[in-house]
């Protein structure tokens, strides 16, 4: 099982939706709860954030590969779909 790195900003509404989606998905499938998710607040770890190629948050990496970068047009369902895909990849599904 791979670790997820999730770059975010604390007060970002898209990041809040990503967190909400993760909690909902964990309730739907307990296997997701076993995945280690490293939440990286980009303003607190700017050097790490600058070492990755992204502009918008939330951005999800797994095994060094960027799996998802939110866009300002993404609503909750779109974010949840991408979060689920990232969690599935971490589980090797």
| Total tally of structural domains belonging to the chain | 1
Q: What is the DSSP letter of 9?
A: -
First to last CA, the chain: 10
pLDDT of residue 82: 97
Q: What is the full per-residue pLDDT of the chain (93 aa) written as tens digits?
A: 789 999 999 999 999 999 999 999 999 999 999 999 999 999 999 999 999 999 999 999 998 899 999 999 999 999 999 999 999 999 988
Q: Which residue has tokens 């790490």? A: 48
Asked if 57 contacts 42 with a C-beta cutoff of 8 angstroms, the reply is yes
pLDDT of residue 2: 87
Classify 79 as helix, strand or coil: helix
CATH code at position 42: 3.40.30.10
């Amino acid at each position: 099982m791979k670790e997820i790195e999730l770059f975010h900003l604390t007060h970002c509404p898209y990041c809040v939706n990503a967190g909400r989606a993760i909690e909902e998905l964990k309730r739907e499938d307990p296997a997701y709860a076993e995945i280690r998710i490293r939440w990286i607040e980009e303003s607190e770890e700017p050097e790490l954030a600058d070492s990755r190629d992204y502009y918008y948050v939330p951005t999800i990496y797994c095994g060094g590969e960027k799996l998802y970068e939110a866009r300002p047009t993404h609503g909750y369902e779109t974010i949840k779909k991408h979060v689920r895909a990232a969690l599935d990849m971490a589980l090797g599904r």
